[in-house]
A and B are shown apart, each in its own frame.
Chain A
């Protein structure tokens, strides 16, 4: 079966531009997470979707970051007016039953 997929795999953008990152979770997985990982650093939690509950947005670093998910399907993470400090790998993960979480390959974002 297919795993978690993310697109694009790499994104280079100019400072001030908006970017949209996409995550396709494993079919049937109710939970979906977005993380950010800067070079050589640990995972930084951004946002968590669980079924139809209100998302946990407590990790979003600023109001330039937002994410959406419709039902238990695709999620998009949008970063507006990108800054150089937004450069990182953005990882998506989904979790189903049994209680295991799988990561996608990530999107490497470079802001020039």
Chain B
């Protein structure tokens, strides 16, 4: 059983639209949740972290966490072609637990 699941994608949205990226996880006790962005040929870079139920906003990005449903999502408002990348969801069950990544979903923003 996979621990962190993401929609297989790819996801294509027009410029200016809202992109919605979803992730589910299996360990109900998980405490920390992260979204990474990876451009082709580059390393993953952290874009959002969230620890509490609800929404966390940072510029055009909003992370949403629902621990009861074991679900974390990333919304990208006013999507830009520069947002085209692979987005990786990552979950850390406990304080000294290793971070577990989903397989990622590729987002393409059409001009």
Task: Kindly state whether residue B32 has any CB partner on chain A within 8 Å.
Answer: yes
In the complex, the answer to whether B101 meets A43 with C-beta atoms within 8 Å is yes
- Pair A99/B32 contact, Cβ less than 8 Å: yes
Residues from chain B with a CB closer than 8 A to the CB of A102 are 46
- Complex Cα spacing A45 to B103, Å: 11
- B43: CB under 8 A from chain A? yes
Q: Are B46 and A105 in contact, CB atoms less than 8 angstroms apart?
A: no
Chain A interface (Cβ within 8 Å of chain B)? 31, 33, 42-43, 45, 48, 50-51, 53, 56, 91, 95, 99-106
Tell me which of B15-23, B58-66, B67-75, B92-100 binds A: B92-100
Binding site for A on B (CB under 8 A): 32, 34, 43-46, 49, 88, 90, 92, 96, 98-104
Between A and B, how many residue pairs show CB distances below 8 Å? 42
What chain B residues lie within 8 Å of A106 (beta carbons)?
A: 43
Q: Which 7 A-B pairs have the closest CB atoms?
A: A42-B103, A103-B43, A48-B98, A43-B101, A50-B96, A103-B44, A42-B104
By a CB distance below 8 angstroms, the chain B residues around A104 are: 43
| Residue in B43, B90, B100, B101 whose CB lies within 8 Å of A105 | B43
* Closest chain B CB from A96 CB (angstroms): 12
A8 to chain B, nearest CB (A): 15
Which A residues touch B34, using CB under 8 A?
A: 100-101
Can you list 30 residue pairs at the A/B interface with Cβ under 8 Å?
Answer: A31-B96, A31-B98, A33-B98, A42-B102, A42-B103, A42-B104, A43-B88, A43-B101, A43-B104, A45-B98, A45-B100, A45-B101, A50-B98, A53-B96, A91-B43, A91-B44, A95-B99, A99-B49, A99-B92, A100-B34, A100-B46, A100-B49, A101-B34, A101-B46, A101-B90, A101-B99, A103-B44, A103-B45, A104-B43, A106-B43
- Chain A hits for B101, CB < 8 A: 42-43, 45
